[in-house]
């Protein structure tokens, strides 16, 4: 699958259904599919490094998870560009679905609050 394939798919979907669908989602929870599929191997395709999970038969948790994440965000951007060009979609909305997680500091200390900020940036600040 080439880089422009998702944009072409989105363009087709918008041209066929843009007059009927008003709320569009490009990618559902990219953090979860990236982490689960290419870091911890809890989800398909089950790739990870041996130091993460002994059952892994292939993968590089320190690299592949970021490659997939990058490509999912590029696909999202391609779809949004096509959506903005779609005349039939003018009254609609488009977005990406982020994972519904949140963090709170364990203690009321500035160091705890910095750790929470870093965790939020790392998981939601894509």
Exactly one of 8, 16, 29, 78 is catalytic; which is it? 29
Report DSSP letters for 54-102, one per residue.
TT--S--TTTHHHHHHHHHHHHHHHHHHHHHH-GGGTT-EEEEEPP---
Is residue 29 part of the annotated active site? The answer reads: yes
* Cα dist from 65 to 5, 68, 97, whole Å: 21, 5, 18
Angle at 87 (CA atoms; ends 2, 5), nearest 5 degrees: 5
Positions marked catalytic: 29
């Amino acid at each position: 699958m080439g880089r422009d394939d998702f944009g072409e798919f989105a363009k087709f979907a918008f041209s066929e259904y843009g007059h009927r669908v008003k709320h569009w989602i490009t990618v559902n929870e990219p953090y979860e599919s990236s982490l689960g599929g290419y870091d911890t191997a809890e989800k398909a395709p089950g790739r990870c490094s041996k130091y993460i999970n002994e059952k892994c038969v292939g993968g590089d948790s320190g690299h592949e998870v970021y490659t997939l994440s990058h490509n999912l965000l590029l696909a999202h951007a391609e779809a949004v560009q096509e959506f903005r060009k779609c005349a039939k979609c003018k009254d609609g909305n488009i977005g990406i679905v982020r994972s519904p997680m949140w963090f709170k500091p364990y203690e009321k200390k500035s160091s705890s609050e910095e750790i929470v900020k870093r965790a939020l940036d790392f998981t939601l600040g894509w």
